[in-house]
A and B are shown apart, each in its own frame.
Chain A
């Protein structure tokens, strides 16, 4: 994910976002991506609105377009009541949603989310999943997760990666059929990946 978003340079292969090569023209390629990094990093000395304003400016939104974008994502991510609160004082769920708001502020075509529901309580998880589903109607969304019910609930394609290698790739249903005798994705996962305790 960090390679797709242009943070790490790949040692081999190529990355293309909407037809733009990430290695040759990173600035154009990054423009069509929204990214939620793991652990939702934020500038702790800013308020929610000023943080989103900064991100909007980085995405080339200024003036009226900037305030419209801020209002839009504040509403989408249910952040209106913490608009002017310092990021430092937010709970984990709010921090997460603030960072999520940052990733969709420029309405990107591609959305990349690194464990978007990690560390959230069940209500917050439900909200974030709802958001992802709504966004998924007109965007390409890639997200990583360890919670496999989420995959079944939200994904049209799933890839299982074990120690850097793709071990399964297909729709959730295809994955379930690929290993005989497995009824759930959890069982499929356990059948095709090796646990850390086995050498």
Chain B
């Protein structure tokens, strides 16, 4: 990676990031995200009634469900918009490699999420105000939550490379994110394990191991496990490679 690659990636990143602020989408999504995460925490998570200075159950528990819908909403314009406007042709005839564009755009969307996630800080202040929480699980919870969002964003990026319609991209991405979440959801996995023959249990466990949920829960409980981080990173890399294939197929 030389300076020229970095410059190209930065230029793409800058344009993409600023374009989020030019459209109302970003503001709407961040506001809904904050309302949803706080609403779930205080009303469904019964944060104040549990009398427990931990964010794992009342706060982080709900994040995957929010990301399933909102991460595709942030990411759906990444490549669909380029295809629709025709600027994709312009971009691909400029002296940059597709990878620089893919990474620049993904990092822009990722930074948007970082802003959203950072704005949930009042809940951390609240829990410190009311009790004396353990800092470790809060940090790993935030990391896990962010990685979850990035995983969903990468899946959305892959879907958007294949279609010029943002609606199609959104629906496909939500479906994929739900799938990747549910195949590891403890209640569902346990039910399946009970119904299938014992010989198949290891396969069910293997499939559930591939889901976002399995890795997210471990981390949000306060265990910072390198392999879980590695898992999310490999999901992101895989999804970006699929994005690359999608873009290449559009130019064939």
Judged by a CB distance under 8 angstroms, whether A62 is at the interface is yes
Report Cα–Cα, A55/B96, bound state, in Å: 11
The chain B residues found within 8 Å of chain A, CB to CB, are: 4, 7-8, 11-12, 14-15, 18-19, 22-23, 85-87, 89-97, 251-252
Map CB proximity to B onto A22-39 as digits: 1 under 8 Å, 0 otherwise. 000011101101010101
Report Cα–Cα, A43/B11, bound state, in Å: 14
A37–B94 contact, CB under 8 A? no
Number of A-B contacts (CB under 8 A): 70
Given contacts A43-B15, A45-B23, A46-B19, are A6 and B87 in contact (CB under 8 A)? no
Report Cα–Cα, A26/B248, bound state, in Å: 14
- Least Cβ–Cβ distance between A46 and chain B, in angstroms: 7
Number of interface residues of A (CB under 8 A): 31
B7–A6 contact, CB under 8 A? no
Give the residues in chain A near B85, CB-CB below 8 Å.
41-44
- Least Cβ–Cβ distance between A80 and chain B, in angstroms: 22
- Least Cβ–Cβ distance between B89 and chain A, in angstroms: 5
A57–B7 contact, CB under 8 A? yes
Judged by a CB distance under 8 angstroms, whether A5 is at the interface is yes
Give the residues in chain B near A58, CB-CB below 8 Å.
8, 11-12, 91, 94-96
A102–B93 contact, CB under 8 A? no
Given contacts A58-B8, A58-B96, are A41 and B87 in contact (CB under 8 A)? yes
Give the residues in chain A near B252, CB-CB below 8 Å.
8-9
Question: What residue in chain B is nearest A39 (Cβ atoms)?
Answer: B86
Task: State the majority secondary structure of interface residues on A.
Answer: loop
What are 21 A-B residue pairs whose CB atoms fall within 8 Å in the complex?
A6-B92, A7-B251, A9-B252, A30-B94, A33-B93, A35-B90, A37-B89, A37-B93, A41-B86, A41-B87, A42-B87, A43-B87, A57-B7, A57-B11, A57-B14, A58-B91, A58-B94, A60-B4, A60-B7, A99-B90, A102-B90
Report Cα–Cα, A179/B5, bound state, in Å: 52
Judged by a CB distance under 8 angstroms, whether A54 is at the interface is yes
- Least Cβ–Cβ distance between A16 and chain B, in angstroms: 16
Judged by a CB distance under 8 angstroms, whether A194 is at the interface is no
- Least Cβ–Cβ distance between B133 and chain A, in angstroms: 42
Judged by a CB distance under 8 angstroms, whether A59 is at the interface is yes
- Least Cβ–Cβ distance between B187 and chain A, in angstroms: 43
Give the residues in chain B near A2, CB-CB below 8 Å.
89
- Least Cβ–Cβ distance between A119 and chain B, in angstroms: 14
A55-B94, A58-B11 given. 18 additional CB < 8 A pairs?
A: A26-B95, A27-B96, A27-B97, A30-B94, A35-B90, A37-B86, A41-B85, A41-B86, A41-B89, A42-B85, A43-B19, A45-B19, A46-B15, A50-B18, A57-B7, A58-B91, A60-B7, A99-B90
- Least Cβ–Cβ distance between A22 and chain B, in angstroms: 10
Report Cα–Cα, A41/B7, bound state, in Å: 23
Question: What residue in chain A is nearest B4 (Cβ atoms)?
Answer: A60
Give the residues in chain A near B97, CB-CB below 8 Å.
27
Give the residues in chain B near A33, CB-CB below 8 Å.
93
A6–B90 contact, CB under 8 A? no
Question: What residue in chain B is nearest A8 (Cβ atoms)?
Answer: B251
